[in-house]
Chain A
Amino acid sequence: MKLCSQDITPDSLSGAIFALEGIRDAAVILNGPTGCKFYHSAISDSQFPRGSSFDPLAYPEQFYFGQPRLPATCLDGYDYVYGSADKLEQILPAAAKGHRLAAVVNSPGAALIGDDLKRLAKKALAGLPCVVLESTGFSGYFAEGFQNALLKVLDCIALERRRKIPGSVNLVGISIYHKYFAGSIKEMKRLLEMCGIEVTAVLCAGDRLRDLQNLPEASLNVVLYPEYGLELARRLYERYDTPYLASEEGPPIGFQATEHFLRKVAGSLGADPSPALQALDRGRAACFQHLSRFHSLTGLPGGNAFSVKADPSTAYALTNWLSSYLGMIPAAVETTQCGRSEFTGKLAALLAGAGLESTLARPVNATAADLVFADGATIAQLKTRHGNCCGIEIALPSLGYIDVAEKSLFGPSGAMMMVEQILNALRFL
C-alpha cells in the first residue's frame, strides 16, 4: 500500500473550546462524551495550566474524570435519545462555582439532539453570565470556531461602546492553541509598552473576564494572526467603533515583519516606536555576531533548503524572512486549512517572484529539506523519510519537548530563538 498519511487538523469544535478555555476565570463545560473531553482537557491544561496539581484523585470522577480542565456531562447513547437536561442540571452549578463566566459547548453529537442549553443554563446558573454554543459547526475551520465563540462571549457580557483611552490597544487573534502563545503575548506587550502603548485585553489567550470587559476602551484592535482575528476585529469595529489594524507583512515573526508591525501600530496611535525598534536592533546585532562567525566557518545558512508548514500568514512571514534575511531557499511551503486568508495569494506571489511557485505543491512531510518549520507531527513524519533534516516547532502538536523557559515566536526574542535553533541545526550538515 502507498503511504496514506493525512494531516487531520483540529476543527471548529477545538477552536471554540480553546477560545473559551483561554478566558482564565471561565468554567468551560462540555455537553458531550468524554471522548471529546479528554484530548481538549489535556491540551488546555498543558498549554495553559491554572492549577499546580495533577493528582487525578483531586478531580472527581463525575464530570472531571481525573482531569483539571473541561468538565463534561459524559453523554452516552441514552442521553442522545432522552436529552441531556438532567446531566446539565447536575453539572452546571458544580462546575461553574467560583468562576466569573460559564460556557457550555455542545459536542457534535449533542448538537444534533437539540437540547435548549440556554434555558437549562439560565435555570441552573442564577445570575452567572453563561455563553452557550449549541453547535460549533461540523468540520468547520478552527479559526471559524474560535472567532464565533468569542463573538458569543461578547454577546453574553453585553458591552457598551465606551470612550477610547488614547494609546491603548487590544491584541486580537491569538489562542492558547498557538505554540508559545504566552511568551509571544508577553513579547508584544513588552515592545508596545516601550512605545508607550498599553494593552487593554488579549482576545483570547489568558486574560480574565474583567480584562475582556474593558476591551471597548482600547483605541485600536491589533490583529496578530489574521486568520484568527481579522473577522473578529471587523465585528468589533461594527460593535464598538474600534478601528483595527493587521500588518500586510503578517504576524510579527522575524525582524522585518516585527519592524513593519511596530511602525504601523505606533503610527496609527501617534506613538514613538524608536525604543522598541532599538530593542529590535539589539536583537539583530546579537544575531549578526553569531551568524557572521557561523558563516565564516561554514558558508551557511545561506543556500540551505527549508520547508514551512503553517497558516498562510505565518508561512508568508517566515518564508519572507528566512529567504531575505538568512538567504535560505524554500523547498516546500504548505499552508494549513484555516479558511480564507489574503496571505494565500501573497505567499503564492512571493514564491512566484522567486521562481519557486512549485514549492507550494509539495507536501512538507515528504519533501527533503535541511530545516523544517512545522508542527511536531509533520517534523517527525519527515524525519522518518528523510532523516537528515532538523525540525523547528512553530505549531502544535508538539514533539513532546516541555518548555519551562518562556519562548516567543514574535518580536526580536522570537527571531533570536529561531536563529539560535537554525545555527544549532546546521552545524553538521
Chain B
Amino acid sequence: MRQIAVYGKGGIGKSVISANISAALALAGKKVLQIGCDPKHDSTRLLTQGAQITTVLDYLKVTPPEACRLGDVMATGFGGVACVEAGGPEPGVGCAGRGILTTFDLLERLGIDRLDFDLVLYDVLGDVVCGGFAVPLRRRYADAVYIVTSGEFMSIYAANNILRGLQNYDGELKRAGGLIFNRRGIEDEAGRVERFAGAVGLPVLAAFPRSDEFSLAEAEGTTLVERCGDSAIARTFKDLAARLLERSELFQASPLTDPNLEAIVLQNASPDALPVLAAAALKEKEDAPGDPDDLVAGDRPKRQFLSKNVLLREPLHGCAFNGAVNVTVQIGDAVTLAHGPRSCAHISYQTISSIGRKMFFERGLLLPVQLSPPLVSSDMNEGVMVFGGLEELKGKIEELKKYDPSAVFVVTTCPAGIIGDNTDAVRDPAGLGGIRVIPVKTDGDISGDYLQGVITAYMDTARALIKRDVRPAENLVNIVAEKTIASNTEANFETVRDLLAAVGVSVNCRFICKTSLREIENFLRAKINILAYEDYMGRTIRDFLQEEYAARFLRRPFPVGFFETERWLAEAAACFGREGLAESVAAEHRKKYRSALRKLRPLLENKRLLIITYNHDIDWILETAFDLHMEIAKVCILNYSQDNLFRTRFRDRFELAEDYDPAQRESDLEDLKPDLVLANYAAPAGAACTDTIPLCPAAGFFSGLELAERWARLLKRNSTEGWRKDEALFSRYYA
C-alpha cells in the first residue's frame, strides 16, 4: 500500500486535484482511500456527487466509543473510492489540529490500516499550521508528500513552509515528491514556480491550466476525470496518478529562508537589502531612549505583576491553574469551577486536601476548606477539545446554582487555553445572569507557574470584588498573602491574631484565606494591612494592593523570632496608639527567652553551624544561634522558585553563598567540619548532626528557640542511629 499526503495553501485547489487523482486511479482499477483533513470537509465532495458525508468528528460527538464502526464514517464514491472526512469545529472555536489527531486515532482504532488499499491519499489543509495538521506528515502515514501551488507568492510561501515542516520531521531523509502546479493565470507564473522548484530541488510533476472544465465538473458535483475522461487535462491527471503510484523519485526537503524565497521568486531584491522594520525601530529606541514620560498613554506598558519564574524565564514550578485554584477555594461561599480535564481538578483537589487530611488525622484539626474544598471540574473531554467547551461550561455554571453560591470562579487549564475557550464570554461579576461569574484566566501553566496563578487569583478576585467606596473603621487590620498549603498557616494566624488582640486590634479580612465574598468586598474597612510573608509573593501582592487600592501596610510581615516579634508588636501597637500594651507583652516574653538561652548555652556554645536552605530570611535562626554563642560556619542559599531576595541584619558576621550550587555540599562538609547542618530536607552530612528548617517558619517570639532546643537534644546524643546502617539491606530487598 502506498500512502501520500497532498498539502498546499488553502483555496489552491488541493481537494479538486486530490479527488481527480483518486478518480483517475479508480478508473485504472486501483483501490483508493481519500481522507480529507480539513475542517470544511469538502475534500471528497466531487467523488460523492456532491453529497456530504458524516465527518469523523461529528460522528464521535454523538457516538459512544464502543459503538463506533468504520463503515459509519467511510462512504464509497466514484469508482469505489473510499471517502473519509475528518471535519472539525466551526471557525474561531475549538482546536482543528486536535481534530486531526482525534480522527487518526479513531481510524487506527477501527482498523483502517488493515484494509487493503493500493493508495491512501491524505488531503491536508493549507500550510503546516500546527502539530495536529502535521500528523499526515508522520512517516507511518505518508510515504511521500506532494505540494500543490500556483505562482502566487503566498501560495509558494506556503509550499516553502510545508517543506520546513517536512524538514523538521525528516532531516536528511527523502520524502518530498514534488510540486503540482495549478495555474491562476498571473504574470510570470510558470517562471516563479520553476525558479522555486529549482531552488528547493523539486520537480514540477504536472501543471494544470485554468479551465472551464473544472468549474463545469464542479457544478455537476463530479471530478473532471469522471466528466470528461478523454480531455487533455484528464489525461494529465491520469499520468500524474500513475506516477504517484509507481513510487517516483523522492527528495530531501530543502526549504528556503524567507528573504531568499522572496528574492528568488519575486526577483525584486537581494536578501541583504530587505528592510527589517521592527528591528530598525528597536535600534532607534536603543539609540535615543528618551524620557519614558514622553510616551503617549497607549504606548506606556501596563504594570505587570509577575512571579519570579515568569519574570526570569526560569523553569516553571507547578502551574498557575493550581495556584489560582488553591486561592479561590479559600472563599468559602463561592464555588471554583476548574475548566479542564478531570486530571487537572483532581491534582488541585489533592494539593488542597492533603494538608487537611493529615492535620485531621494527626492533630484532630478540622480545616473545612482543606477537607471539602468547594471545587468542581468541567470534565473537558475529547469532543470539547475539538469543538470548544463554552456551551458545556455555561451548562456547568447553571448546574452550580443549586448550591446557591455567592460567586463562581472559573479557572482555566492548559487545554482550555490551547483550544482558546474564551471564558470572558461567561464573565458576570455583578451576577446579572443570576450568578456572579469571575473568570481567572490562568490557562494551566501557559500564563506561568504556581506562584503566578496565586498572584493572578489575588488580582482578579480583588478587581472583581473589593468595593472602593468602603471607608476604614478603627482598630481593624487585614492579613494578606498567607500560604494556604503550609501546615502551620492556622497556627501562625492564631499567634498573630492573639498578639494583635493583646494590643486591642482585630482582623477584618484574611485576604485570601478562609474568607468570604463579603469580607473581601469590605477589604478597605481595615486601616492597616499585614503581610504574612515578605517573600517574593508577599511583596508582589503588597505592591499590587498599594498601587491599585492605596493600601497601607505594616512595615514588617508576620514576625518570626524574638527580635522581629518585639519590633513588630511595637510597630503594630504604634499604628493604633497602644505602645504601652506592646511593651508589657514583650517584657513578659523577654524574660522567658533569656531564661531558655541560659539553659541551652552550655550545650550549644561554640558549636559550628552550616546552613543550606531555600529560605531567604533566616535571621530568626541566626539570631538564636548568635544569642547562644554558636559559630556560623557558612550560610548557603539555594535558588528558590518563591524568592530571590536574601535579607539579613547580620550580613558581615558569616560567610554567605547565594545561589548555592548543591554539588558543593560535600566539599563544604569536608572543609568546614560543622557540628550541625541545617537544611530544609535532612541529607547525609558525614559526621555532622542534621536537622531541618521549615520552609514556612512558625511566627512568634520563640521560633528560633524551639529549633535550638532540638539541636541541643540532637547534639547530646553520642551515637548514630542504628537504622542508618541498613541502606544495603534496603538495596538488597527492595530497590
Chain A residues within CB distance 8 Å of chain B: 1-6, 8-14, 33-36, 38-39, 49-58, 61-62, 65, 74-77, 80, 83, 85, 107-109, 111-116, 118-119, 134-135, 137-140, 365, 376-377, 380-381, 383-384, 397-401
State whether A137 touches B316 (Cβ < 8 A).
no
- Contact (Cβ within 8 A) B343 A14: yes
Q: Are A8 and B346 in touch, CB under 8 angstroms?
A: yes
Cα(A118)–Cα(B139), bound, Å:
10
Q: Compute how far the CA of A62 lies from the CA of B357 in the bound complex, rounded to whole angstroms.
A: 31
Say which residue of A10, A52, A377 sits within 8 Å of B353 (CB atoms): A377
Given contacts A55-B683, A77-B447, A85-B168, 4 further A-B contacts (CB under 8 A): A1-B332, A33-B444, A35-B318, A109-B415
> Are B450 and A62 interface neighbours, CB within 8 A?
no
Q: When the two chains form their complex, are residues A137 and B382 in contact, meaning their CB atoms are under 8 A apart? A: yes
B residues 431-467 near A (Cβ < 8 Å) are 443-447, 449-450
Tell whether, in the assembled complex, residue B413 and residue A114 are in contact, meaning their CB atoms are under 8 Å apart: no
Pair B372/A381 contact, Cβ less than 8 Å: yes
The distance in angstroms between the C-alpha atoms of A365 and B406, with both chains bound, is 24
Known contacts: A109-B414, A115-B131. The answer to whether A400 contacts B362 by CB under 8 A is yes
Main secondary structure of the interface of A (DSSP, over half): loop
Given A8-B345, A80-B418, A383-B360, check contact A52 B730 (CB 8 Å): yes
Which of B14-22, B94-102, B195-203, B293-301 lies at the interface with chain A?
Answer: B94-102
Query: What's the minimum C-beta distance from A397 to chain B, rounded to whole angstroms?
Result: 6
Chain B 55-102 residues near chain A, CB threshold 8 A: 95, 97-98, 100-101
| Chain B residues, Cβ within 8 Å of A377 | 353, 357, 371
Using known A-B contacts A54-B681, A108-B343, determine if residue A397 contacts B353 with beta carbons closer than 8 Å. yes
B379 proximity list for chain A (CB < 8 A): 139
**A2-B404, A134-B101 known; A13+B372 contact, CB < 8 A:** no
A11 pairs with B357, CB closer than 8 A: no
Contact indicator A397/B350 (Cβ below 8 Å): yes
Docked-complex contact A116 and B340, CB < 8 angstroms? no
B357–A109 touching, CB < 8 Å: no
Task: Take A77-B445, A138-B382 as given contacts and tell me if A8 and B375 are in contact as well, using a CB distance cutoff of 8 Å.
Answer: yes
Rounded to whole angstroms, the CA-CA distance of A4 and B406 in the bound complex is: 12
User: Residue among A138, A140, A400 with the most chain B CB within 10 A?
Assistant: A138
Q: What residues of chain A lie closer than 8 Å to B676, measured between beta carbons?
A: none
A138 contacts across to B, CB distance below 8 A? 341, 380-382, 384-385, 415
Contacting pair B341 A52 (CB below 8 A): no
Flag whether B718 is at the interface (Cβ < 8 A).
no
Tell me if A33 and B414 are in contact (CB < 8 A). Answer: yes
B347 adjacent to A34 (CB under 8 Å):
no
Kindly state the separation between the CA atoms of A8 and B347 in the bound complex, as whole angstroms.
9
Contact A65 B317, CB 8 Å, known A4-B335, A138-B381: yes
Q: Is there an interface contact between B132 and A55, defined as CB atoms closer than 8 Å? A: no
CB distance from B388 to the nearest CB of A (A): 13
Q: Which residues of A contact B385 (CB under 8 A)?
A: 112, 138
Nearest-CB residue, chain A, relative to B730: A52
Let me know if A135 and B341 touch, CB within 8 A.
no
Select from chain B the residue with minimum beta-carbon distance to A110.
B414
A1 and B405: CB pair below 8 A?
Answer: yes
A139 and B445 within 8 A (CB)? no
CB pair B333–A35 under 8 Å, yes or no, is: no
Is residue B160 within 8 Å, beta carbon to beta carbon, of the partner chain? no
Tier of interface size on chain B:
35 or more
A43 shortest CB reach to chain B, Å: 8
- Contact partners of A57 in chain B: CB under 8 A: 638, 662, 665, 681, 683
Q: Looking across the interface, which residue of chain A has its beta carbon closest to that of B168?
A: A85
Q: Given the complex, which residues of B lie within 8 Å of A116, measured CB to CB?
A: 131, 134, 138, 169
Contact indicator B446/A80 (Cβ below 8 Å): yes
- A14 in contact with B414 (CB, 8 Å): no
Min CB distance, A138 to chain B, in Å? 4
Q: How far is the CB of A3 from chain B (nearest CB, A)?
A: 7
- Residues of the A chain whose Cβ atoms lie less than 8 Å from the Cβ of B333: 1
A11, B341: Cβ atoms closer than 8 Å: yes
The answer for the CA separation of A34 and B316 in the assembled complex, in Å, is: 7
Interface pair A2/B402, CB less than 8 Å apart: yes
In this complex, the member of A55, A108, A140, A383 whose beta carbon has the largest number of chain B beta carbons within 10 angstroms is A108
Cross-interface CB contact of B414 among A39, A62, A107, cutoff 8 Å: A107
Closest 10 interchain pairs by CB?
A114-B131, A35-B319, A109-B414, A5-B372, A400-B358, A57-B662, A55-B683, A33-B445, A399-B361, A77-B446
With both beta carbons as reference points, the residue of chain B lying nearest to A55 in the complex is identified as B683
**Contact indicator B341/A139 (Cβ below 8 Å):** yes
Show 13 A/B contacts (Cβ-Cβ < 8 Å), sorted by A.
Answer: A1-B406, A2-B402, A5-B374, A6-B375, A6-B377, A35-B316, A57-B662, A77-B443, A108-B343, A113-B130, A137-B382, A139-B377, A384-B371
Q: Do B361 and A34 have beta carbons less than 8 Å apart?
A: no
**Chain A residues positioned under 8 Å from B650 (CB to CB):** none
Interface bits B301-345 vs A (CB < 8 Å: 1, else 0):
000000000000001111101100000000011110000111111
Contact of A83 (CB < 8 Å), options: B131, B371, B730: B131
Bound-complex Cα distance A111 to B403 (A): 34
Name the B residues within 8 Å of A85 (CB-CB): 168
Q: Is A56 a contact of B346 with CB atoms below 8 Å?
A: no
Given the interface pairs A6-B376, A114-B130, A114-B132, the reply to whether A400 lies near B347 with Cβ below 8 Å is no
B349 to chain A, nearest CB (A): 4
**Given that A74-B315, A398-B357 are contacting pairs, would A35 and B372 also be in contact in the complex, using a CB cutoff of 8 Å?**
no
Q: Specify which of B315, B332, B357 is in contact with A399 (CB 8 Å cutoff).
A: B357
**Among A2, A13, A119, which residue has its beta carbon within 8 angstroms of that of B343?**
A13
Chain A nearest Cβ from B731, distance in angstroms: 7
In contact, A112 and B415 (Cβ under 8 angstroms): yes
Most buried by A among B351, B380, B446, B447: B446
Partner of B357, one of A6, A139, A365, A397: A397
Q: How far is the CB of A52 from chain B (nearest CB, A)?
A: 5
A398 to B417, CA, bound (A): 32
Contact A108 B344 (CB under 8 A): yes
Cβ proximity bits B717-733 to A, threshold 8 Å, 1 near / 0 not: 00000000001001100
Smallest CB–CB gap between B369 and chain A, Å?
10
Which residues of the other chain, B, contact A4 by a CB distance below 8 angstroms?
Answer: 335, 374, 376, 400, 403, 405
**A112 touching B343, Cβ below 8 Å:** no
**A76 and B446 contact, CB distance less than 8 A:** yes
B662 x A10 contact (CB < 8 A): no
Contacting residues, chain B, for A74 (C-beta < 8 A): 315-316
Which chain B positions have C-beta within 8 A of A135?
101, 105
Q: How many whole Å from A62's CB to the nearest CB in chain B?
A: 7
- Chain B contacts of A107 at CB under 8 A? 414
A397 to B356, CA, bound (A): 12
Within 8 Å by CB of A1, from B135, B356, B403, B418, lies B403
Check B341–A34 contact: CB distance below 8 A. no
* Contact status A108-B341, CB under 8 Å: yes
Q: Which B residues are CB-close (under 8 A) to A137?
A: 382
B450: chain A residues at CB < 8 Å are 35
Q: Does B366 contact A (CB under 8 A)?
A: yes
Measured in the bound complex, the distance between the Cα atoms of B450 and A397 in whole Å is 22
Q: Are B445 and A75 in contact (CB under 8 A)?
A: yes
Q: Which of A55, A108, A401 contacts B413 (CB 8 A)?
A: A108
A105 to B177, CA, bound (A): 33
Tell me the chain B residues, 655-701 only, with Cβ under 8 Å from chain A. Answer: 662, 665, 680-681, 683-684
| Contact assessment for A119 and B371 in the assembled complex, using a CB-CB cutoff below 8 Å | no
Contact B351 A399 (CB under 8 A): no
Most A-side CB within 10 Å, residue of B135, B372, B447:
B372
**Interface pair A139/B361, CB less than 8 Å apart:** no
Q: Which residue of B lies closest to A38 (CB)?
A: B318
Instruction: Give complex CA distance A108, B101 in Å.
Output: 13
What separation, in Å, do the CA atoms of A6 and B399 have in the docked complex? 13
Residue of B nearest to A80 (CB): B418
B54 within 8 A of A: no
Q: Within the complex, which residue of A8, A53, A108 is in contact with B349, where a contact is CB–CB below 8 Å?
A: A8
Q: How far is the CA of A354 from the CA of B168 in the complex (A)?
A: 65
A119 contacts B101, C-beta separation under 8 Å? no
Partner of A112, one of B139, B351, B418: B418
Q: B residues within 8 A CB of A10?
A: 342-343, 346
